[in-house]
């Protein structure tokens, strides 16, 4: 099913017209990277005490994302006259905006977000992909079933093409480097590979004639707002598809048994990391060499 204009609040609260708890890419990542207990706690239809939490450290990235996808102020409030949130009046206006489901931004934050998006658009104009956000529709929600499990995804951008090879782009702002040489481990750790496979499954379920590709536009949130575009390779996607299948099976079992375990209830043995073994061997070699040169053993050990 396709929801072209579902609000973010309804998406996050799982208000999809279906009583079943929907599995999302982020929930699947939490399920596998942490535990079913964490996934249960974060789901609005599973945890009776669930509340949506907003973290101020993500506000700038959220604003960049919204503006880049065409939001001209419909989802955030720009609060002028303050350099920070320390004054009570600023705090009151911030809290009122959040209570109304809107994103509060200080004026300088809003200006920074616009500057970052302007830089993004300038760089995309020179990039081989052009600006993928110039034709199509933003933030389209999809639902589908995998092995009897209700799944959902919110695409950053739905391109106009509905058949053949189509690339879907997802914008990720980052406080780290957007250097593509450093992106692989970070994207894997944050569940982006799984997201690519999960969302691709939803695209195929809703648009059978489409052969989707999935790429991430990485944008640094600090000047000079450098960006890159990266795409998982076939091996990474195949591994991510296996993770999706694992997550669906685990979610289905947890739902059917109404059991959401945390970490293992046994003592776990920690495997010594290769880097730690290598450091110990190097330290021993240095101490041996220093001792042979007549350096006090205690002084040699202090190098480490």
For the chain, which residues make up each domain, given as ranges?
Answer: 269-304
**Helix/strand/coil for 42:** coil
- The 3-class SS string of 235-258 reads HHHHHHHHHHHHHHHHHHHHHHHC
Question: Which one, of 211, 205, 196, lies nearest residue 142 by Cα?
Answer: 205
Query: What was the pLDDT predicted at 90?
Result: 87
- CB contact at 8 A, 180 and 228: yes
**Helix/strand/coil for 193:** helix
Q: Which H helix or E strand runs over 262?
A: none
Query: What was the pLDDT predicted at 169?
Result: 97
Bridge partners, residue 77, by sequence: 104
- CB contact at 8 A, 212 and 155: no
d(C-alpha 140, C-alpha 154), whole Å: 6
Query: What was the pLDDT predicted at 57?
Result: 72
DSSP state of 271: P
Query: What was the pLDDT predicted at 297?
Result: 53
- Label the pairing between strands 164-174 and 210-220: parallel
* Tens digit of each residue's pLDDT, the chain (304 residues): 999 989 888 999 999 999 999 999 999 999 999 999 999 999 999 999 998 777 677 788 888 998 999 876 668 888 888 888 888 888 889 888 888 878 888 899 889 999 999 999 999 999 999 999 999 999 999 999 999 999 999 999 999 988 999 999 999 999 999 999 988 888 888 999 999 999 999 999 999 999 999 999 999 999 999 999 999 999 999 999 999 999 999 999 999 999 999 998 999 888 877 777 887 788 778 777 766 766 555 555 544 4
Question: Which one, of 56, 111, 110, lies nearest residue 86 by Cα?
Answer: 56
d(C-alpha 214, C-alpha 129), whole Å: 13
DSSP state of 176: S
Query: What was the pLDDT predicted at 79?
Result: 87
**Helix/strand/coil for 282:** helix
Triad 144, 145, 146: Cα angle to 5°: 130
Question: Which one, of 85, 83, 108, lies nearest residue 95 by Cα?
Answer: 85
Secondary-structure percent of the chain, ordered helix, strand, coil, rounded to 5? 45, 20, 35
d(C-alpha 238, C-alpha 233), whole Å: 9
User: Could you give the residue ranges of the DSSP H alpha helices within the chain?
Assistant: 8-12, 25-33, 36-41, 59-68, 88-99, 107-126, 183-189, 192-206, 234-257, 274-292, 297-301
Query: What was the pLDDT predicted at 294?
Result: 65
Backbone CA torsion sign across 72, 74, 79, 80? positive
Q: What is the pTM of this model?
A: 0.85
């Amino acid at each position: 099913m396709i929801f072209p204009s579902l609000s973010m609040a309804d998406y996050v609260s799982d208000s999809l017209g279906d009583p079943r708890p929907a599995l999302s890419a982020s929930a699947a990542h939490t399920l596998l990277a942490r535990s079913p207990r964490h996934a249960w706690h974060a789901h609005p239809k599973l945890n009776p005490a669930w509340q949506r939490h907003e973290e101020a450290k993500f506000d700038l990235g959220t604003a960049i994302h919204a503006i880049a996808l065409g939001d001209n102020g419909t989802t955030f409030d720009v609060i002028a006259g303050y350099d920070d949130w320390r004054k009570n009046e600023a705090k009151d206006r911030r809290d009122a905006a959040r209570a109304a489901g809107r994103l509060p931004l200080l004026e300088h934050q809003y200006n920074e977000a616009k500057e970052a998006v302007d830089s993004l658009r300038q760089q995309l104009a020179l990039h081989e992909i052009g600006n993928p956000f110039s034709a199509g529709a933003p933030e389209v929600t999809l639902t589908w079933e995998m092995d009897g499990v209700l799944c959902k995804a919110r695409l950053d951008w739905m391109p106009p093409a509905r058949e053949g090879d189509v690339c879907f782009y997802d914008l990720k702002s980052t406080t780290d480097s957007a250097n593509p040489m450093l992106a692989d481990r970070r994207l894997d750790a944050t569940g982006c590979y799984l997201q690519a496979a999960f969302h691709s499954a939803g695209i195929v379920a809703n648009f059978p004639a489409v052969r989707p590709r999935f790429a991430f536009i990485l944008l640094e949130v600090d000047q000079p707002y450098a960006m890159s575009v990266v795409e998982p390779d076939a091996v990474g996607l195949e591994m991510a598809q296996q993770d999706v299948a694992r997550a669906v099976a685990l979610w289905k079992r947890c739902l059917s048994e109404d059991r959401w375990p945390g970490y293992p209830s046994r003592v776990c043995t920690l495997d010594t990391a290769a880097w730690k073994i290598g450091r110990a061997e190097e330290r021993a070699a240095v101490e041996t060499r220093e001792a042979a040169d007549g350096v006090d053993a205690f002084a040699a050990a202090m190098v480490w």
